[in-house]
Chain A
């Protein structure tokens, strides 16, 4: 693909409310995970929670959209200079020429979960204040972002579980290449809800302690919440700034199982190969790999195999989910931003929570943060339904 310029980005999660706080936490291997105290959930697990969401309300003119997921989106849009940069983008290209492509897995389902506790005892009806379109609907967050930023171009939610917001970069790149829009706001937003906490628990995929990616004793994921946004533009449109380049996108499917990755990592490998081919790079051109690394037994084993098949043990790699938790539909863009922070800050983040790397895993897994020049990063995101996406990001 022709590289795209990432001219602005923002990130919010349990590590902090802006890019500097998140970068500092990643470098110093601080974790945002803490014992689960979300809502009425009494599960023995750790979560990465954004505490500010409880008190926040969405902007008054969009009050109908108020729900935890859209509050989180608003926090992301207001972080750093993102909303200002988006306004400048609207001026530059025209509102109709800027697209919105946002990944989420559960949208505002928490509103529906809570509304089901308040059903009319006789009729079973949902409470009158329940708003389906603006909260529960999977498309809600793209609609919210489009209205929040006053954009009028194409807008859609990509919802393929944990690969959603990595794939959103692919959708944006195609729409720009096809001339449907000139620039795009790419995002990912996923917030805590009962569905994911109890759902992953039912699959015995949640860790009791904070998750330990690639550890011999890893026992599952820690669920987190977070938002990330990036502005992508064509290089010849002279973007105001160039934070990083989106060099390649690779997508594939496992065709294997709904909730278990292919044991040999065939789908993951195809996604990585396609991302490299899309960037016109060889494996040896990649300085660091930000792994999907969920800390389940099966994900880490299959991803390790796929990465080792392509990169051997030489390329340093790590998962940052021990710091952020698994942000599900927001994981892809969050880790794309982690990749940009690594490039800009000259470091490869270590893996909080991981004590001893599983001896059966063969990749060059980083336990500790390493300071080193980073020019190109491969970032992996794999989801339920066997949906895989790898991104290649690089220095401008």
Chain B
């Protein structure tokens, strides 16, 4: 399956946006991990903004950046959201409350508990009535999202945005499911080459197990291994280098995604 990458976004520790992170991802500037700075969701009205949790802020931040970079209208573009976990703080608060005698659950907590909360807020923020799907495949969530977005581009012949995001759970869930940090990435993908295209990517699901491409920086490699959404880092690195490359991304056991990258300029 082939698509043209028109917009790219990234947000993570020491990765404050695509342009600012490009040299680091390309390996031409040193990586300095720090706390990820997640901006408030400028896209949402203040009342809605107050109700959103971290995953929604993350998704909206990278979605906004990717569409700005692509110069496309978010209102007319279908979306694929993928996350290994939902809103961890919200889950913790709900489960604490449900384990207490009162069992008080607030309506906002409840509607924020759905896995597609980010997609719902994205629709409200961008006024997009286009289709949106919200996926989860544990550690393979990035790969599952990329496959789905590529299939939509290939089959429906329309531009599609992929938004992948994950963040650590609070304790005690963190110990049961340790996630190594906050990370989000987004790609705006199109079926045809336009002046906006930065690169073409060709994605294939291969049954043969193959070692996934590693990040050369040890800290970025740690992020790739410990944050499911960061399993896409080798693709972002290849896009940042802007040279022809083939990367292998993690997927389910017994399958890997091979992604060929060809710069358009």
Contacts and interface: CB of A to CB of B under 8 A. Distances in A.
A132 B177 contact: yes
A200 B144 CA distance: 30
Given A96-B207, A157-B135, A385-B119, A257 B124 contact: yes
B105 interface: yes
Interface stretch (B7-15, B65-73, B150-158): B150-158
Contact of A384 (B99, B116, B148, B171): B116
B138 to A, nearest CB: 4
A271 B244 CA distance: 40
B141 A125 contact: no
Interface residues of B, number: 65
B32 interface: no
B233 to A, nearest CB: 20
Interface centre among A115, A143, A161 (most CB of B within 10 A): A161
Nearest to A328: B114
B138 A133 contact: yes
Contacts of A138: 85-86, 115, 136
B144 A143 contact: no
A133 B141 CA distance: 13
Interface string A123-155: 111100010110011111011001000001111
A132 B177 CA distance: 7
Contacts of B107: 199, 202-203, 259
A88 B96 CA distance: 45
Nearest to B206: A96
B215 interface: no
Contacts of B130: 252-253
A251 interface: yes
A199 B123 contact: no
Contact of A198 (B103, B119, B134, B205): B103
Given A158-B134, A158-B135, A387-B120, A253 B148 contact: no
B113 A199 contact: yes
A174 B119 CA distance: 20
A175 B110 contact: no
B133 interface: yes
A2 to B, nearest CB: 10
A222 interface: no
Contact of A112 (B95, B128, B147, B207): B95
Contact of B134 (A112, A113, A160): A160
Given A126-B172, A159-B136, A178-B151, A384 B255 contact: no
Interface centre among A112, A116, A200, A258 (most CB of B within 10 A): A258
A267 B129 contact: yes
Contacts of A160: 114-116, 119, 132-134
A333 interface: no
Interface of A: 96, 105, 109, 112-113, 115-117, 119, 123-126, 130, 132-133, 136-140, 142-143, 146, 152-161, 167, 170-171, 174-175, 177-178, 180, 194-195, 198-203, 251-259, 266-267, 270, 383-387
Interface centre among B106, B130, B135, B156 (most CB of A within 10 A): B135
Contacts of A158: 133-135
Given A138-B86, A253-B131, A195 B117 contact: no
Nearest to B112: A258
A200 B113 CA distance: 12
Contacts of A387: 116, 119-120, 132, 134
B136 A156 contact: yes
A258 B126 contact: no
B155 A96 contact: no
B1 interface: yes
Contact of B114 (A124, A167, A385): A385
24 contacts: A96-B207, A112-B95, A126-B172, A132-B173, A137-B177, A138-B85, A139-B140, A152-B207, A159-B134, A177-B151, A178-B154, A202-B104, A202-B105, A251-B131, A251-B133, A252-B130, A253-B131, A253-B132, A258-B111, A258-B117, A384-B114, A385-B121, A385-B134, A387-B132
